[in-house]
């Protein structure tokens, strides 16, 4: 147990006796031009308690707070660590690291040899002499026999160690109290090479890493990793199999310039992010470009906003473009057929409808109510579409002018209610229950009512007209765009999906929780913590709300996932007492359910095209895949059992077909196919489907056959020598099912 504790402490407890909590990193400002990767591991005390520009910045900058944390560091080491680790060198190591640990991987441009890799590691210490550092090195050699000190640190601070197959040149700057290690293979790594490398470390104010770093952690005290994937390509091309390289090239992944992830503070907010700098090439070029603008007004106190961008017209055009490039006349014909069917059934040109609406959709909650904002890209088309739908389906539409503002109302038949009542009527055609018929008729008459206003190129839909009137009359307004960028510090210009919410009182709760935590650590380490010496929340002038967000970006040259918070992701636990916290979780789930499947399906089609050279349009059939309650109704328990057994079989069989190109056998699927009435289920000899066979005492003398249509991708149910009165609708002969 002590060995485990020692390892964990070596990794996570870099304590220090100093007058600041953690010094800033320095290697990031002088990265060599041939750096291919950079890692910053935070000093735990700096990550936990150093001022970083977050909501706790003023509290953590307070002099009394700094002294409390320094005292706590000493107490934790003396009372919690030292009793387990009685080693002077280890004590020095654990108590003297006073900044993040930085590492830069260097790889010369144009090289393709792994041996050319070099690694620079540096950190700030509170140690003042090379002798103290030598004591640490000597202690490490006793614990790692393969590590040998060839030349101890001299008076000028240079030394050399080896750990097969690596050489480790070291330098301790007594003035800056900074330790630097230079690691590589072979005799080329020595103190002279280290001196040369250090002389080449110059300020790099425009290093390409900064663009991604500033979005994740501009404080320098957080966890951060960055890699120059563009520089790594020559090595990757020599290491990866040709088929993998071809796949990466098809998807445009070989064009990735950089990749980064981390947890830190940026623009006053905590960030947990994963970002890729990647231009759209290969199949990625068929992803539509996203550009968001939300000039719609929020009124009063806004608590929630969620955005989504689904540019359906561009997605349709890009599919068409792909088929043109690949010269797939069959799929182009199917797109044309889809447009023709839409025109015949709806009476409108599909592209006209898609062009009518822009990609931006917003959902927001404020003092006036809950609203949906829908971008209108072409106002003239919108009027044409609206008028056509009203005339074709005899919809009720009216407008009201109130206070100089036009309010719209559209009543649409309740399609869900109509479908439900029709289903019940079909299932129980002989029902004589007058009350039931009355309730069904009333439910069928309930309309869906839509109320909206037009504002800056958007339709703003409200639940009732009163909420729309309230938002118009409320003088306190801020645009959704400004609310996201100024108050939540978000850039949503290229965002596919975002959720942002304000939780009342969380900054204060976060501060109180932080104080309780350091108080508890003081108790653990027998170190008194004087909370009375620290400022109160009112004196610190905390904002009244905490802001939180999650966004998925798909900009022109960047793809990323970022979580934004005040201090840490755990902040949400302090803010869920606000109802918006719970509503927000539901809202993001709804938006994710809409956006992510749409884009996933879009990407899956591209992937299918890459693998097979063709996209298959989704097909629907009502002969075997309808809702179980409507298609599996039967008076025979044997037939009902058969339907129950084949339900999981269909899913597994489809997966097998798409992975193997043929339907799998029952043995390959590995599911139970015998029941009280069903004897067994077998793959048909021609491989087109499955036969369901019944036991002699089941009351069924024939068999059911479930066949799979490989062109339309749906199941068909047929029966042989079974009374049709026992069959569900999906298995009825075609002549009887009409």
Tens digit of pLDDT for each residue in 339-395?
A: 999 999 899 999 999 999 989 999 999 999 999 999 999 999 999 999 999 999 899
Q: Give the model's pLDDT for residue 599.
A: 53
Whole-number Å distance between alpha carbons of 636 and 650:
21
Whole-number Å distance between alpha carbons of 665 and 647:
16
Whole-number Å distance between alpha carbons of 4 and 145:
19
Q: Give the model's pLDDT for residue 712.
A: 66
Whole-number Å distance between alpha carbons of 553 and 551:
6
Q: Give the model's pLDDT for residue 215.
A: 96
Domain covering 628-737 assigned CATH 3.40.50.2020 in the classification? no
Integer angstrom CA distances of residue 611 from 4, 255, 281, 658: 48, 21, 18, 11
| Partners of 307 in beta bridges | 362, 498
SS3 state of residue 500 = strand
What residue segments make up the domains of the chain, in order of their start?
A: 2-248, 628-737
Q: Kindly tell me if the per-residue pLDDT of 586 is higher than 90.
A: no
Q: Give the model's pLDDT for residue 77.
A: 81
Q: At what angle do helices 579-612 and 312-325 cross, to 10 degrees?
A: 10
Integer angstrom CA distances of residue 724 from 164, 213, 462, 555, 718: 80, 69, 51, 57, 10
Tens digit of pLDDT for each residue in 63-98?
A: 999 999 989 988 888 888 778 776 655 565 566 788
Q: Kindly tell me if the per-residue pLDDT of 502 is higher than 50.
A: yes
pLDDT, mean of residues 17-39: 88
**Which pTM value belongs to this model?**
0.73
pLDDT, mean of residues 294-302: 94
Q: Give the model's pLDDT for residue 197.
A: 92
pLDDT, mean of residues 429-439: 58
∠ Cα 24 26 29 (to 5°) = 120
Whole-number Å distance between alpha carbons of 542 and 535:
12
- Which class for 120: exposed (0-12), middle (13-18), buried (19 or more C-beta within 10 A)? buried
Hey, how many other C-beta atoms are within 10 angstroms of the C-beta on 669? 19
Q: Kindly tell me if the per-residue pLDDT of 404 is higher than 60.
A: yes
Q: Kindly tell me if the per-residue pLDDT of 736 is higher than 50.
A: no
Identify the DSSP state of 296. Answer: P
Q: Kindly tell me if the per-residue pLDDT of 602 is higher than 60.
A: no
Name the percent of the chain lying above pLDDT 70.
Answer: 82
Q: Give the model's pLDDT for residue 622.
A: 33
pLDDT, mean of residues 490-501: 94
Q: Kindly tell me if the per-residue pLDDT of 182 is higher than 90.
A: yes
Q: Give the model's pLDDT for residue 724.
A: 85
Task: Count Cα neighbours of 254 within 13 Å in the Cβ-side half-sphere.
Answer: 15
Strand order in the sheet with 714-720: 678-683, 689-694, 703-709, 714-720
Q: What is the mean pLDDT of the chain?
A: 83
Instruction: Give the confidence band of 620 by pLDDT, cuts at 50, 70, 90.
Output: very low
Identify the DSSP state of 405. Answer: E
Strands (E), 418-577: 447-455, 458-462, 477-479, 495-504, 545-554, 558-565
Q: Give the model's pLDDT for residue 263.
A: 97
SS3 state of residue 572 = helix
pLDDT, mean of residues 218-222: 95
Q: At what angle do helices 434-445 and 415-427 cross, to 10 degrees?
A: 160
Q: Give the model's pLDDT for residue 428.
A: 55
Name the percent of the chain lying above pLDDT 90.
Answer: 51
Tens digit of pLDDT for each residue in 150-164?
A: 999 999 999 999 998
Q: Give the model's pLDDT for residue 113.
A: 73
Identify the DSSP state of 731. Answer: G
Tens digit of pLDDT for each residue in 411-427?
A: 988 765 555 555 555 65
Q: Give the model's pLDDT for residue 645.
A: 84
The helix or strand, by DSSP H or E, that contains position 708, with its residue range, turns out to be strand 703-709
Is residue 366 within 8 A of residue 303, CB to CB? The reply is yes
Q: Kindly tell me if the per-residue pLDDT of 222 is higher than 70.
A: yes
Question: Between these two residues, 8 and 558, which has the higher pLDDT value?
Answer: 558
Q: From the CA atom positions of the chain, what is the Rg in Å?
A: 34
């Amino acid at each position: 147990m002590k060995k485990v504790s020692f390892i964990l402490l070596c990794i996570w407890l870099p304590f220090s006796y100093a007058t600041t909590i953690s010094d800033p990193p320095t290697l990031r400002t002088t990265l060599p031009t041939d750096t291919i990767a950079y890692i910053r591991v935070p000093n735990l005390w700096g990550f936990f308690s150093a001022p970083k520009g977050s909501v706790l910045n003023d509290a953590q900058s307070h002099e009394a707070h700094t002294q409390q944390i320094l005292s706590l560091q000493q107490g934790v080491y003396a009372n919690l660590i030292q009793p387990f680790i009685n080693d002077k060198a280890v004590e020095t190591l654990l108590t003297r690291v006073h900044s993040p640990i930085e590492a830069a991987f260097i790889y010369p441009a144009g090289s393709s040899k792994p041996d050319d890799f070099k690694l620079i590691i540096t950190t700030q210490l509170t140690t003042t002499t090379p002798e103290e550092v030598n004591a640490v090195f000597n202690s490490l050699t006793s614990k790692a026999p393969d590590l040998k000190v060839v030349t101890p640190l001299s008076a000028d601070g240079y030394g050399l160690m080896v750990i097969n197959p690596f050489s480790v040149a070291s330098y301790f700057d007594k003035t800056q109290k900074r330790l630097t290690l230079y690691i590589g293979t072979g005799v080329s790594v020595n103190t002279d090479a280290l001196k040369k490398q250090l002389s080449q470390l110059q300020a790099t104010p425009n290093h390409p890493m900064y663009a991604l770093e500033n979005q994740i952690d501009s404080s320098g005290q957080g966890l951060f990793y960055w890699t120059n994937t563009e520089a790594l390509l020559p090595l990757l091309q020599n290491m990866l199999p040709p088929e993998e390289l071809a796949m990466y090239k098809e998807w445009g992944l070989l064009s990735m310039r950089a990749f980064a992830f981390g947890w830190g503070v940026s623009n006053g907010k905590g960030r947990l992010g994963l970002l890729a700098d990647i231009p759209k090439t290969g199949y990625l070029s068929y992803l539509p470009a996203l550009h968001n603008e939300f000039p719609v007004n929020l009124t009063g106190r806004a608590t929630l906003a969620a955005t989504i961008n689904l540019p359906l017209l561009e997605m349709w055009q890009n599919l068409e473009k792909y088929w043109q490039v690949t010269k797939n006349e069959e799929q182009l014909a199917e797109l044309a057929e889809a447009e023709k069917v839409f025109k015949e059934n709806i009476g409108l040109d599909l592209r006209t409808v898609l062009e009518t609406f822009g990609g931006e959709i917003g959902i927001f909650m404020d003092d006036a109510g809950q609203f949906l904002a829908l971008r209108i890209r072409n106002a003239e088309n919108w009027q044409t579409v609206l008028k056509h739908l009203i005339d074709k389906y005899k919809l009720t539409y009216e407008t009201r002018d109130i206070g100089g503002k036009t309010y719209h109302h559209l009543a649409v038949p309740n399609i869900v209610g109509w479908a439900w009542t029709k289903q019940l009527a079909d299932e129980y055609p002989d029902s004589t229950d007058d009350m039931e018929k009355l309730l069904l008729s009333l439910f069928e008459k309930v309309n869906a009512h839509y109320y909206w206003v037009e504002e800056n190129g958007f339709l703003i839909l409200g639940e009732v007209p009163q909420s729309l009137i309230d938002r118009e009359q409320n003088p306190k307004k801020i645009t959704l765009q400004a609310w996201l960028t100024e108050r939540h510090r978000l850039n949503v210009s290229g965002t596919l999906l975002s959720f942002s919410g304000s939780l009342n009182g969380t900054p204060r709760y976060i501060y109180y929780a932080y104080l309780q935590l350091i108080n508890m650590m003081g108790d653990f380490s027998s170190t008194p913590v004087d909370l009375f010496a620290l400022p109160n929340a009112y004196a610190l002038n905390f904002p009244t709300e905490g802001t939180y967000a999650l966004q998925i970006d798909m900009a022109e040259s960047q793809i990323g996932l970022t979580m934004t918070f005040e201090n840490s992701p755990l902040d949400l636990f302090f803010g869920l007492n606000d109802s918006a916290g719970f509503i927000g979780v539901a809202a993001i789930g709804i938006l994710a359910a809409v956006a992510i499947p749409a884009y996933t399906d879009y990407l899956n089609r591209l992937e299918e095209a890459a693998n097979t050279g063709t996209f298959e349009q989704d097909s629907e059939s009502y002969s075997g895949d309808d809702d179980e309650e409507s298609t599996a109704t039967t008076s025979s328990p044997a037939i009902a059992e058969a339907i129950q057994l084949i339900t999981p079989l269909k899913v597994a069989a489809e997966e097998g077909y798409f992975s193997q190109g043929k339907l799998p056998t029952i043995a390959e699927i590995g599911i139970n196919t015998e029941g009280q009435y069903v004897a067994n289920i077998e793959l048909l000899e021609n491989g087109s489907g499955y036969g369901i066979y019944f036991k002699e005492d089941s009351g069924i003398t024939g068999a059911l056959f479930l066949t799979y249509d490989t062109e339309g991708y749906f199941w068909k149910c047929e029966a042989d020598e079974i009374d049709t009165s026992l069959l569900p609708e999906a298995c009825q002969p075609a002549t009887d099912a009409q």
